[in-house]
Amino acid sequence: MPYLFTSESVSEGHPDKVADQISDALIDHFLAFDPDSKVACETLVTTGQVVLAGEVKSKAYLDVQEIARSVIRKIGYTKSEYMFEANSCGVLSAIHEQSADINQGVDRQQKEEQGAGDQGMMFGYATNETDDYMPLALDLAHKLLQELAAMRRENKEITYLRPDAKSQVTLEYDDNNQPCRIDAIVISTQHDDFDTEEKMQEAIKNDIINILIPRVKSKYTKFAKLFNDNIKYHINPTGKFVIGGPHGDTGLTGRKIIVDTYGGKGAHGGGAFSGKDPSKVDRSAAYATRHIAKNLVAAGVADEALVQVSYAIGVAQPMGIYVNTFGTAKVNMTNGEIAQKVSEIFDMRPYFIEERLKLRNPIYSETAAYGHMGRQPEVVEKEFRSPEGKVVKKKVELFTWEKLDYVDKVKKAFGIK
């Protein structure tokens, strides 16, 4: 029987994402000046105020206030009427040194025996539903907001947009679990004040349907047919949305973990990513399991794969690896046998995850909005400045966990030609 499935996304100007981006900018700066830094940094943003808190073990000294302000400036909170503005907001730092009790469980004389930074379970997921091996509903929800942000910065076709926005996409699936129709699209976008609420609603609905949607549709050759005249649109359904961002709603690091991952498909272990260095397996092992799941599906082991790994704090070897192919396996093996093969191909000790995915580099700011998964790997050069005037330039590879660099190894291990 056909069914509906929904995923949501939030823009870079959403208060929780503002917090995520500040936390990850701090991670990048610490790692740029000291790759061995251990950092767990949380951010709170509200009307005219940013609060930084967390634990750090690093040789680097940073101007955390200026880092926070530069992130806010880049997002677009640059006007006083937003009630949260990069140059005038207060920035309070309550960052202190990491607990020695935690650190002794992570650092080892032999780097290979580095312990997990915390206990817990992490999940990675992939499906061949889209070219980037992501669930389509979430992919669409992200693309809607990425295009909306691009249009806000262009300030040509739509000139009243403010940084805060949310999207939601509901798809209908057929009996073969294939997406066959977009049932509903929800867009809520912050905007400048209008003369009347009627003018505002008419203008925004018209611009979203006639300008934004065609731009997004053009990016989906394979799924263009899903965009039809029967889609139910809910555009700013509450009406006026002038008050937004951290002034409209307090934001915290780590409150959008489903947006960050798979939009409700697969599973989630509960641990957030942003603000954590890669010794925290909440982050690094979630990337590693995505890498595994994507390479399994791309190699033809299954059409869909969920991979779980679990750890004990201070212990290098994972407690276990679990794989679920949801009955889509193309190899004559049980899920347990597939999991055993996975453990032979991929070393899931924290140190080897860091090395394999090059995670001790300043690569995290780019992950903090529009999803950590399904992104395009690329090499970029980044520049960082310390308060003392020291400049570090680094060429780094982003989204290494999205690479299909293990497909041949997986095919060989599973006997796939």
Amino acid at 351: Y
Residues 399 and 262 in one domain: yes
Lookup: tokens for 119: 């206990």
* pLDDT tens-place string over residues 168-199: 999 999 999 999 999 999 999 999 999 898 99
Residues 231 and 283 in one domain: no
CB atoms within 10 A of CB 111: 12
What is the distance between the alpha carbons of residues 56 and 63, in angstroms, rounded to a whole number? 14
Residues 299 and 359 in one domain: yes
Q: Count up the domains in the chain and report the number.
A: 2
pLDDT of amino acid 356: 98
* pLDDT tens-place string over residues 58-89: 999 999 999 999 999 999 999 999 999 999 99
Residues 145 and 124 in one domain: no
| Residue found by looking up tokens 């349907």 in the block | 209
229 in a domain, yes or no?
Answer: yes
CA angle 112–115–117, rounded 5-degree value: 135
Full residue range of the structural domain in which residue 292 is found: 120-128+257-267+278-414
Residues 282 and 169 in one domain: no
What is the distance between the alpha carbons of residues 18 and 47, in angstroms, rounded to a whole number? 13
Low-confidence ranges of the chain (pLDDT < 50): none
Lookup: tokens for 56: 């750090």
What is the distance between the alpha carbons of residues 147 and 140, in angstroms, rounded to a whole number? 11
Q: How many contiguous H segments (helices) and E segments (strands) does the chain have?
A: 12, 13
Residues 192 and 294 in one domain: no
| Residue found by looking up tokens 């399904």 in the block | 374
What is the distance between the alpha carbons of residues 148 and 116, in angstroms, rounded to a whole number? 39
Q: For the chain, what is the radius of gyration of the CA atoms?
A: 22
Residue numbers in the known binding site for Mg(2+) are 16
What is the distance between the alpha carbons of residues 14 and 96, in angstroms, rounded to a whole number? 27
Residues 212 and 196 in one domain: yes
Residues 320 and 401 in one domain: yes
pLDDT of amino acid 417: 86
How big is the chain, counted in residues? 417
Residue numbers in the known binding site for K(+) are 42
With CA atoms as reference, report the closest residue to 163 among 192, 140, 141. 192
Residue numbers in the known binding site for L-methionine are 55, 98, 249, 280
Residues 314 and 362 in one domain: yes
Q: Are 414 and 299 in contact (CB under 8 A)?
A: yes
Cα maximum dimension of the chain: 67
CATH of the domain at 346: 3.30.300.10
288 in a domain, yes or no?
Answer: yes
pLDDT of amino acid 102: 53
What distances in angstroms separate CA 82 from CA 75, 204, 234, 250, 263, one per listed residue? 12, 19, 24, 14, 29
Residue numbers in the known binding site for ATP are 14, 164-166, 240-241, 249, 255-256, 272, 276
Residues 211 and 334 in one domain: no
Residue numbers in the known binding site are 14, 16, 42, 55, 98, 164-166, 240-241, 249, 255-256, 272, 276, 280
Residues 388 and 312 in one domain: yes
